[in-house]
Amino acid sequence: MTYPTETLTESNIWATTPDLTHLRQKLLDLFAQVAYQEGDFVLASGLHSSYYVNKMQVTLHPQGILAVARLVFPLLPEDTQAVAGLTMGADPLVTAVSVVSVYENRPIPALIIRKEAKGYGTRAYIEGPTLPEGAKIVVLEDVVTTGQSALKAVERLQAAGYTVNQVIALVDRHQGGGELYQSAGLKFEALFSIQEIQERFRQLANS
């Protein structure tokens, strides 16, 4: 995948602009340019789809993940004690948000939830700092389809004695995930809807 030259050469804008609306637009462009694809795909949920969002093209892109973290951080409630997510899609998200939180003078640790318990050592499901019982944690997710991945993370955190009331995603495909979280009593929001990305993809393709 070749990244847009403009994206690679304007590092300071992504890092320092105080205009988060402008930053969000640049991130939307990046999703449309390098992550969104149309074709015949099978998703992690097992569903078939005529399009795919290859989110790792954004979350492992230096300016992309910085923009993600800068946009997600303000969405965290003031009493957030950690961010967490299911490996491996959420790994760069929680790490980047934790790093940005230091620069915002509100350090927030990151937790990574394993899909299976570690087979050695502590045999833990949750990796990261041990927090006080009842600690308030926000779960981060990359792309939400059915919502099962993030819900698994929520359930494992709750089983460990933590409090989880919110899920924040990068992209909502609007295929039932939001409704699942609502039924579980969770607040849910996403940076982008799939419709926004599709619209921007077509605009750029026709420009």
Q: Is residue 172 over pLDDT 60?
A: yes
Instruction: Enter the DSSP assignment of 180.
Output: H
Q: Residue 119: what pLDDT?
A: 54
Residues 6+ apart with CB under 8 A from 111: 82, 83, 84, 85, 94, 126, 127, 128, 129, 131, 137, 157
Average pLDDT estimate for 141-149: 93
- pTM comes to 0.92
The residue type of 21 is: T
* pLDDT at residue 67 in the model: 97
Rounded Cα distance between 27 and 140, Å, is: 17
What's the pLDDT score for residue 160? Answer: 93
Who's near 145: CB < 8 A, 6+ residues apart?
A: 43, 44, 45, 47, 173, 175, 176, 177
- Average model confidence (pLDDT) across the chain: 91
d(CA 141, CA 88): 10
Residue 123 has pLDDT above 90, yes or no: no
Instruction: Tell which wins on pLDDT, 5 or 126.
Output: 126
**Partners of 187 in beta bridges:** 166
CA gap 99, 93 in Å, rounded: 10
Task: Summarize pLDDT for 28-47 with one digit per residue, the tens.
Answer: 999 999 999 999 998 877 77
pLDDT at 121: 47
d(CA 46, CA 111): 27
Q: Give the span between the Cα atoms of 80 and 164, in whole angstroms.
A: 10
DSSP annotation of 3 reads P
137 class by beta-carbon count within 10 Å (0-12 exposed, 13-18 middle, 19+ buried): buried
